[in-house]
């Protein structure tokens, strides 16, 4: 057996000793809407870098870095990989081999809504898909229940009542404690929350894309409506998939998401966009922060936000992005707005 394989086997069976000081590191815990559940203001996201093509030891190290920093919220989905389901299986392996004794300290979330397997019943908002998907996710994760089960996107081809009834069933079965929505705009969120609450289903979160560069959730009233309805907001892509960092100021790094032409296309990095990023970087420097830290701080300033989902490719990115300060002066906010409006 070669040395790499021996190392992998050893790694998979080595239990991680968690930090005894993990709850003394200043992590803030915010209530999810009007529920009894609190989430760490940062969640570790598994959208990228946790699939079957990624390095397992690096995944473990990122999970340890997050948990040891006081992050208790872990955000997955049935289609995260590649291949679909592999992010859940990898996290399940880390949980089993390293952190099984700490399962009750974690809020584990998964989602269904996008295509996850072939055939008629691997996509959408139908009852068969949502219930079958959760069963698959529980098997992948190696847990009896998830803390939050999200509908990953609205399905215009399925009656919303059917989708909501599927969530009622999974909560009553004990396979999920709470329900979340994802990518639901203001009106659709309001409709779904009303139906779920009529069914006595604990819907507590809406997960939306929100950043300095993407303000749709603010502009369409989703954030304000969530506050009114007692629904927390979980934010993904707070760094606009890496644009709100300094990595693209000198071109496209070889190891970046854009270099792989994956979910972030090279066409978005126009001269105007580079100019905006550079100007925002100067504002961040004046605050004593990196651009990434300022971008996350900007998102966290909203009282509607419960948790910000951090994507990472290595431990250092997680640790660096925890240094935030959501307090801004009016001058700073005005300058950020002005930069984003400039053509």
Q: What is the pLDDT of residue 6?
A: 45
The CATH number linked to 125 is 3.20.20.100
Q: Is residue 153 part of a domain?
A: yes
Spacing of C-alpha 102 from chain mean position: 20
Q: How far apart are CA 203 and CA 160, in angstroms?
A: 14
Q: What is the pLDDT of residue 12?
A: 47
Backbone angles phi, psi at 249, to 5 degrees: -70, -25
Q: How far apart are CA 10 and CA 30, in angstroms?
A: 37
Give SS3 for 154: coil
Domains in the chain, number: 1
Q: How many residues does the chain have?
A: 343
What residues make up the domain containing 73? 21-242+298-323
Q: Is residue 275 part of a domain?
A: no
| Helix 271-286 / helix 291-300 crossing angle, nearest 10 deg | 80
Q: Is residue 9 part of a domain?
A: no
pLDDT tens digits, 53-109: 999 999 999 999 999 999 999 999 999 999 999 999 999 999 999 999 999 999 999
Q: Which residue pairs, CB below 8 angstroms and at least 24 apart, start in 219-225? A: 220/185, 220/186, 221/186, 222/184, 222/185, 222/186, 222/189, 223/302, 223/304, 223/305, 224/304, 225/186, 225/189, 225/190
Q: What is the pLDDT of residue 267?
A: 64
Q: Is residue 216 part of a domain?
A: yes
Q: How far apart are CA 202 and CA 180, in angstroms?
A: 9
Give SS3 for 127: helix
Closest CA to 238 of 254, 261, 214: 214
CB 315 within 8 A of CB 188: no
Q: What is the pLDDT of residue 253?
A: 58
Give SS3 for 170: helix
Q: Is residue 61 part of a domain?
A: yes
Low-confidence ranges of the chain (pLDDT < 50): 1, 5-7, 9, 12-13, 258-259
**Can you point out the beta strands (E) in the chain?**
29-31, 38-40, 42-45, 73-75, 107-112, 146-151, 176-182, 203-209, 232-236, 305-310
CB 127 within 8 A of CB 165: yes
Q: How many CB atoms lie within 10 A of CB 186?
A: 18
**Host H or E run for residue 338:** helix 330-341
Distance of CA 283 to CAs 196, 210, 235, 292, 333, Å? 43, 19, 22, 12, 10
Q: How far apart are CA 60 and CA 12, in angstroms?
A: 9
Q: What is the pLDDT of residue 251?
A: 59
Q: How many CB atoms lie within 10 A of CB 303?
A: 12
CB 314 within 8 A of CB 62: yes
Closest CA to 211 of 147, 268, 288, 152: 268
Q: Is residue 250 part of a domain?
A: no
| Helix 222-229 / helix 186-198 crossing angle, nearest 10 deg | 20
């Amino acid at each position: 057996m070669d040395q790499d394989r021996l190392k992998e086997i050893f790694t998979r069976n080595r239990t991680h000793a968690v930090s005894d000081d993990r709850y003394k590191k200043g992590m803030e815990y915010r209530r999810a809407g009007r529920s009894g559940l609190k989430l760490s203001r940062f969640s570790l996201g598994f959208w990228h870098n946790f699939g079957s093509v990624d390095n397992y030891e690096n995944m473990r190290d990122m999970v340890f870095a997050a948990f040891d920093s006081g992050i208790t919220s872990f955000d997955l989905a049935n289609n995260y990989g590649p291949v679909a389901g592999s992010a859940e299986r990898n996290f399940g392996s880390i949980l089993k081999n390293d952190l099984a004794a700490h399962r009750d300290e974690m809020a584990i979330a998964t989602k269904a809504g996008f295509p996850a397997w072939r055939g008629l019943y691997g996509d959408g908002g139908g009852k068969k898909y949502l219930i079958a998907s959760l069963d698959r996710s529980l098997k992948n994760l190696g847990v009896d229940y998830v803390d939050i089960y999200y509908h990953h996107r609205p399905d215009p081809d399925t009656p919303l009542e059917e989708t909501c009834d599927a969530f009622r069933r999974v909560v009553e079965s004990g396979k999920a404690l709470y329900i979340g929505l994802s990518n639901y705009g203001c009106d659709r969120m309001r409709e779904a929350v009303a139906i779920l609450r009529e069914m006595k289903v604990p819907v507590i979160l809406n997960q939306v894309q929100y950043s300095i560069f993407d303000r749709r959730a603010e502009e369409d009233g989703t954030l304000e409506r969530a506050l009114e309805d007692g629904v927390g907001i979980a934010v993904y892509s707070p760094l606009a998939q890496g644009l709100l960092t300094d990595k693209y100021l000198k071109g496209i790094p070889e190891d970046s998401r854009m270099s792989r032409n994956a979910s972030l296309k090279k066409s978005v990095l126009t001269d105007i966009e580079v100019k905006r990023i550079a100007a925002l970087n100067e504002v961040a420097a004046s605050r004593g922060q990196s651009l990434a830290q300022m971008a996350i701080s900007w998102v966290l300033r909203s009282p509607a936000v419960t948790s910000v989902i951090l994507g990472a490719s290595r431990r250092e990115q997680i640790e660096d992005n925890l240094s935030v300060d959501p307090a801004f002066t009016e001058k700073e906010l005005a300058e950020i707005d002005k930069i984003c409006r400039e053509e």
